[in-house]
């Protein structure tokens, strides 16, 4: 008899995407649980988990749609008792057009990133999509200072600052297309450009851990053309669509409520690793994700605050002691960072006390986990899309 499954969907600002998410989960689950109160993503997961009766508990973002076979594939991998969680291949929703500009790459003094040109506008059918452009060929969004000089302040541009992005030389980047015919009406800084091909893009093929404590999505912005079709062990998962045995939750505990949102998934993965368990990526199942449909995106002030604060809290609870001290000192020395320094210091006693409690359950040392996974899988094949074999 196959294991029973509970799906937990936490919804903060339900849009039309919620009904699609629930509809995709219902055929695969024995029950779907949703939190009615805003207690953050971590708290919502814990409310749902407390009510779950399934042998496995699956999480699904309310702006994600699970393809058939998502839970069944994960259950097969979870038959291995050393596997703590399984994450599917998560794809960005929609179709993207591939652009490659004929630019030489150069490097600014002190900057290791390849730079091409400053792009201030990317339009599809005359609609501005600069912020939604993905891929290795563009760097993060920036704004000028409102008085003509370039800066790195974040904002929405309402104060007159103009947004722009560096390209990365002749590397491909991808623009969202509303339909197949839009590929003939794409412009960069007002000049028409050729769409080389159309493709789907990867959002998440497992998670990696940086040496500075941040976590990231393996494969983000790369074409889904077969290069992410092999199963693999990863450091962790994002909270978009992991599947976990209920008894593993019982052993390790759930998501940490004080995080509220962001890095509660990384914290849980760290704890699983410290308990000697593994996390695997299974590309035989997939989920479509409307990235940041409900969180206002990575540039929102609250999102930045929570991500910066919680990345350090996660390290303080789980990383080797010398690494945690180094990262804490860097945060104190570097400045507030949207209030993250004050937020970390406010929760520092809790983080250290909880580390002492978690220590009793460690089967593997933080040093062993850090040496194995920090800086691993931070790069992938980000070259142009290739034709899938027929």
Chain segment 245-255, per-residue pLDDT in tens: 999 999 999 99
What residues does each domain of the chain span?
5-93+202-295, 95-199, 305-364
Chain segment 298-333, per-residue pLDDT in tens: 667 888 899 999 999 999 999 999 999 999 998 888
Confidence of residue 112 (pLDDT cuts 50, 70, 90): confident
Q: Which residue has the higher pLDDT, 184 or 275?
A: 275
**Whole-number Å distance between alpha carbons of 179 and 182:** 6
What integer pLDDT is reported at residue 335 of this predicted model?
Answer: 63
Q: Where are the beta strands (DSSP E) in 184-245?
A: 186-188, 191-192, 198-199, 202-204, 207-209, 215-217, 232-234, 243-245
Chain segment 13-55, per-residue pLDDT in tens: 777 888 899 999 999 998 888 766 667 889 989 988 999 999 9
What integer pLDDT is reported at residue 123 of this predicted model?
Answer: 96
- Cβ-contact 128, 122 below 8 angstroms: yes
Chain segment 152-208, per-residue pLDDT in tens: 443 444 455 689 999 998 999 999 998 766 677 999 999 999 999 999 999 999 999
Global pTM? 0.90
| Maximum Cα–Cα distance across the chain | 67
Q: How far apart are the first and last CA of the chain?
A: 36
**Whole-number Å distance between alpha carbons of 234 and 236:** 5
Q: What is the CATH number of domain 5-93+202-295?
A: 3.90.550.10
């Amino acid at each position: 008899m196959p294991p029973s499954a509970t799906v937990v969907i936490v919804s903060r600002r339900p849009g039309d995407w919620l009904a699609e998410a629930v509809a995709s989960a219902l055929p695969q689950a024995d029950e779907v649980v949703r939190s009615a109160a805003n207690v953050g993503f971590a708290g919502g997961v814990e409310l749902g988990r407390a009510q779950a009766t399934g042998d496995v508990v699956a999480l699904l973002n309310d702006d994600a749609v699970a393809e058939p076979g998502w839970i069944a594939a994960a259950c097969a991998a979870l038959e291995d008792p050393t596997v703590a969680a399984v994450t599917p291949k998560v794809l960005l929703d929609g179709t993207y057009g591939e652009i490659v500009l004929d630019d030489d790459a150069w490097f600014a003094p002190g900057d290791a990133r390849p730079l091409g040109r400053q792009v201030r506008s990317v339009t599809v059918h005359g609609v501005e999509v600069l912020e939604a452009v993905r891929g290795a060929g563009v760097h993060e969004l920036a704004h000028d200072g409102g008085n003509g000089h370039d800066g790195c302040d974040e904002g929405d541009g309402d104060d007159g600052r103009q947004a722009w992005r560096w390209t990365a030389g002749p590397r491909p980047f991808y623009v969202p297309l509303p339909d197949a015919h839009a590929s003939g009406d794409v412009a960069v800084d007002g000049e028409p450009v050729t769409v080389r091909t159309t493709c789907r893009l990867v959002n998440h093929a497992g998670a990696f851990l940086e040496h500075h404590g941040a976590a990231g999505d393996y494969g983000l912005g790369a074409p889904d053309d077969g290069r992410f079709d092999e199963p693999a062990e990863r450091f962790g998962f994002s909270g978009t669509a992991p599947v976990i045995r209920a008894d593993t939750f019982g052993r390790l505990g759930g998501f940490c409520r004080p995080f509220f949102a962001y890095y509660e998934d990384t914290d849980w993965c760290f704890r699983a690793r410290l308990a000697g368990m593994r996390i695997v990526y299974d590309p035989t199942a997939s989920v479509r994700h409307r990235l940041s449909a409900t969180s206002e995106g990575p540039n929102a002030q609250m999102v930045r605050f929570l991500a910066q604060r919680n990345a350090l809290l996660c390290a303080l609870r789980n990383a080797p002691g010398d690494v945690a001290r180094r990262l804490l000192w860097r945060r104190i020395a570097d400045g507030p960072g949207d209030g993250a320094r004050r937020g970390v210091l406010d929760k520092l006693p809790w983080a250290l006390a909880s580390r002492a409690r978690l220590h009793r359950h460690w089967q593997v040392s933080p040093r062993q986990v850090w040496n194995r996974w920090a800086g691993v899988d931070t790069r992938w094949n980000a070259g142009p899309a290739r034709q899938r074999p027929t």
